[in-house]
A and B are shown apart, each in its own frame.
Chain A
Amino acid sequence: MSIQPVLLPTDLLVFVLVLCAAALAIHARRQPPLREAWLRVGEHPAAMAAASILLVFALIGLLDSLHYRPQLPPGKDAAAKTVYSSEVSSALDALLAPLRAQTEKTYSAPFARRLFQRETMETPDGGQTRGFPRLQYGARHLQDGDSLPADVAMRLAWTPFAALAVSGCALLALALAVARGRACRPGEAIRLILAGRTALAWRPALIVLFAAALLAAAVAALGPHYHMLGTDKVGQDVLYLSLKSIRTGLVIGTLTTLIMLPFAAALGIAAGYLGGWVDDLIQYVYTVLNSIPSVLLIAASVLMMQVMIDTHPQWFDTAAQRSDARLLALCAILGITSWTNLCRLLRGETLKLRELDYVQAARAFGASTPVILRRHILPNVMHIVLITVVMDFSGLVLAEAVLSYVGIGVDPTTISFGSMINMARAELAREPAVWWSLVSAFVFMLLLVLAANLLADAVRDAFDPRLRRNR
């Protein structure tokens, strides 16, 4: 079956971001101070574990960013040219195909055999009864007398070995690298890593890898046969929804900063270095934007964007494109409201740097203003940029959920933590409560945001010269 690749605007930006990160990594390797700072981050066990968790999330998000349109099955006329589905899928959808396709009628609890709601059913003798019907897909291979835990245990039997194999391979590769760096035998290196005595904290990273491999294997083993986290109101698998939400959260957390960064940096540095009316103007603009409580500013902007999208349906070919445009616009709007903080910080730092001897010397040598800004000021304020980027990430992920709840977040068709919470929130009032959607969203979000917060703390400690002096 052939496919037609689709490159949505956010996909493009996500790949640009990955390229930027790669370029930065190469740059940081070459620069001793940067290298040293990143190594300090890596010494933190919590930071390494957090970075590994974020990498797993990023991998899921990247898989979900490879979009394509599958070919529709050919009709009777074999000569007709191939037709592609108007529905855009992603590589993650393809991996999770059973989870995506196996939708039930409505709610069902995690690992349930039967639907959560009573329905009228036909009895074999032709009469009707009220009861909980069996699920269409979840646990359908089980006979009524079969034990569910026994079946689950049997299916899970191989997963620890797979996870061990994966993390064992990673351990071997790491050990070889460590052994080369320390000029010791690989066996010795393995012992060092397992004892947690390497310079970089590899042990927590390996533990996270093991846990991730175990979970992935468990999903592979059980996913097609059970709804591991239950199903939601329209019968979609909650695990699938949770995994799909990751991309939305990551896109908002990263692209927002990517979009606003050039403007904030350019304006902040220009205001601080040039002074005069440029400074006054830029300060006035960000004071005005800052005086509007951000949620109201976002609400107003999103409403206007909605009107624009609604009145121009001709701009978008598919529903995926429309919701993607909306996601991107939301990132831009969040960027507009959040650039002021970074701009203010950069302006203050540039004001300080401008008077330092080395900048004065550069000016005395006749270096032009753009050259001074690019070569002498920008590299020396980059730590502020980096710290702001990592600190903002978790706040943005949290903001997405709240905004989607208020109704000014992502498109209703985009799967996100906010829309999951929004759908699930009313159902706690049921008796018994439908808790699994909320708990899944809670756990996934907590993991993502907690990891981001821990990493941000480590990055700030390593890169902020003020904190380093205090230590």
Chain B
Amino acid sequence: MLAYVIRRLLYALPILLGVNLFTFVLFFGVNSPDDIARMQLGAKYASPAAIERWKAERGYDKPMFFNPDRAGLAKLTDTLFVDKSLRMFTFEFGRSDDGRDIAREIRDRVGPSFAIALPTFALGLFAAITCALLLVFFRATALDFWGVVICVAMMSISSLFYIIGGQWLVAKLWMLAPISGYAGGLDMTRFLSLPVLLGVVAGLGSGTRWYRTIFLEEISRDYVRTARAKGLSELAVLFRHVLKNAMIPVLTTVVVTIPSLFLGSLLMESFFAVPGLGSYTIDAIRSQDFAVVRAMVFIGSVLYIAALILTDLSYTAVDPRVRLG
């Protein structure tokens, strides 16, 4: 087990290195630092001197990969690539354009982000699987048919409408929850209940439909017929046999949905003014703070790869046949 985890972590390294190189090329190759400085300063004020000053203040005044002015190893290390990109592996992200320490901001904001993303994820999975089992239980009836129709309709509604509509209805008209905001401690549940609820509802349609297909595939297997033949009730078959055996394809699906968590938290945090990583990213995008966006791309990939490894580990929990080693 431990050997497996270590091996997976080692596999992740070249991928993270690729991400790192890719973002570096994207942020420094497509537009030179001069271009970025010119745009940040505005065309009117972008004299060559001002551009140089802007670059020097932010440490952009080095060569990209090779610094001929230095001696020895510093020829390679005193460059933009090492300074701005490779250094992210040690979680040093430098300063944002408004001078704050990015790593510190990220540390402060990880908590609220997880507080909103994890319940949304867990409850969403639970709700979708419950609805899917319900539809499978009533398969080939009117309930199943209309359930699928509703699922397709729910899939076709942009998540923006769920958020805007929910915020307007629940928070403004019914006044059941605060419209937006965030607080630590016990107050957190008051502020987070609505965004979590909306996140669950927004993902319910596609999730239910997808898990329904998985369960339906599973229910036509031989072992299910055997279970019924020995006289088990349909409920016992569904919960004791089908659900357990479907966990592997379900977990595989979960991997696919992890990236959408990022988008979800981006929207939720910005609509509900939660001080998490998502709203940080949106603010950075709107103020064109490239250092922050670059750091977020890296952090996002790290989190995604970590989530992948965790799901792989969870295979052992649901299927005793799977041995990792």
Contacts and interface: CB of A to CB of B under 8 A. Distances in A.
Interface of A: 284-285, 287-289, 291-297, 299-301, 303-308, 310-311, 394, 398, 401-402, 405-408, 417, 421, 425, 428-429, 433, 438, 442, 445-446, 449-450, 452-454, 457, 470
A293 B301 contact: yes
A412 to B, nearest CB: 12
A300 B16 CA distance: 17
B285 to A, nearest CB: 5
B27 A300 contact: yes
Contacts of A295: 259, 262-263, 266
A449 B262 CA distance: 23
12 contacts: A291-B301, A292-B300, A293-B262, A293-B300, A297-B297, A299-B293, A300-B294, A304-B30, A394-B156, A401-B158, A453-B155, A453-B156
A288 B15 contact: yes
Contact of A292 (B19, B153, B267): B19
Contacts of A428: 164, 168, 172
Interface string B146-171: 00000011011111110010001000
A288 B38 contact: no
B86 to A, nearest CB: 16
Nearest to A403: B263
Given A293-B304, A296-B300, A307-B35, A407 B282 contact: yes
B251 interface: no
B36 interface: yes
A445 B19 CA distance: 35
Given A311-B31, A421-B160, A292 B39 contact: no
A406 B281 CA distance: 10
A452 B35 CA distance: 41
Interface of B: 14-16, 18-19, 22-23, 26-27, 30-31, 35-36, 38-39, 152-153, 155-161, 164, 168, 172, 217, 220, 259, 262-263, 266-267, 270, 281-282, 285-286, 288, 290, 293-294, 296-297, 300-301, 304-305
B259 A293 contact: yes
A442 B266 CA distance: 21
A401 B160 CA distance: 8
A259 B157 CA distance: 26
A296 B262 contact: yes
B161 A442 contact: yes
Nearest to A401: B158
B31 A304 contact: yes
Give the dominant DSSP class at B's interface.
helix
A157 to B, nearest CB: 34
Given A294-B259, A300-B293, A307-B39, A450 B281 contact: no
Contacts of B30: 304-305, 307-308
A291 B19 contact: yes
Contacts of B156: 394, 446, 449-450, 452-453
Given A300-B297, A308-B30, A291 B35 contact: no
Contact of A407 (B155, B259, B285): B285
B38 A453 contact: no
Contact of A402 (B155, B160, B288, B301): B160
B230 to A, nearest CB: 26
Nearest to B151: A453
A290 B282 CA distance: 21
Interface core residue of B38, B158, B270, B301 (most chain A CB under 10 Å): B158
Given A421-B160, A449-B156, A291 B285 contact: no
Contacts of B35: 307-308, 311
A291 B305 contact: yes
B164 A288 contact: no
A291 B161 CA distance: 28
Nearest to A398: B158
Contacts of B157: 442, 445-446, 449
A288 B31 contact: no
A287 B15 contact: yes
Contacts of B220: 470
B246 to A, nearest CB: 16
Contacts of B263: 293-295, 402
Task: Identify the 7 closest CB pairs spanning chains A and B, nearest first.
Answer: A288-B18, A293-B262, A450-B156, A449-B156, A293-B300, A295-B263, A304-B30
A287 B301 CA distance: 11
A297 B288 CA distance: 15
A307 B285 contact: no
Given A300-B294, A394-B156, A406-B282, A307 B31 contact: yes
Contact of B152 (A398, A401, A438, A453): A453
Nearest to A450: B156
A428 B262 CA distance: 26
A299 B282 CA distance: 9
Given A296-B297, A308-B31, A301 B168 contact: no
Contacts of A310: 39
B277 to A, nearest CB: 10
A446 B263 CA distance: 20
A400 B282 CA distance: 16
Given A291-B15, A308-B30, A450-B156, 6 more contacts: A288-B19, A292-B19, A295-B263, A307-B31, A311-B39, A421-B160
A428 B16 CA distance: 43
Contacts of A470: 217, 220
A288 B285 contact: no
Given A300-B23, A304-B27, A406 B285 contact: yes
B307 to A, nearest CB: 10
Nearest to A454: B152
Contacts of B172: 428-429
B271 to A, nearest CB: 9
B297 A445 contact: no
Contact of A433 (B27, B152, B168, B294): B168
A106 to B, nearest CB: 21
B311 to A, nearest CB: 14
Nearest to A404: B160
Nearest to A429: B172
B220 to A, nearest CB: 8
A305 B290 CA distance: 12
A401 B158 CA distance: 8
A362 to B, nearest CB: 34
B24 to A, nearest CB: 11
B152 A445 contact: no
Nearest to A405: B160
Nearest to A451: B156
B292 to A, nearest CB: 11
A450 B158 CA distance: 11
A59 B310 CA distance: 48
B140 to A, nearest CB: 13
Nearest to B220: A470
A385 to B, nearest CB: 19
A305 B30 CA distance: 8
B153 A450 contact: yes
Nearest to A308: B31
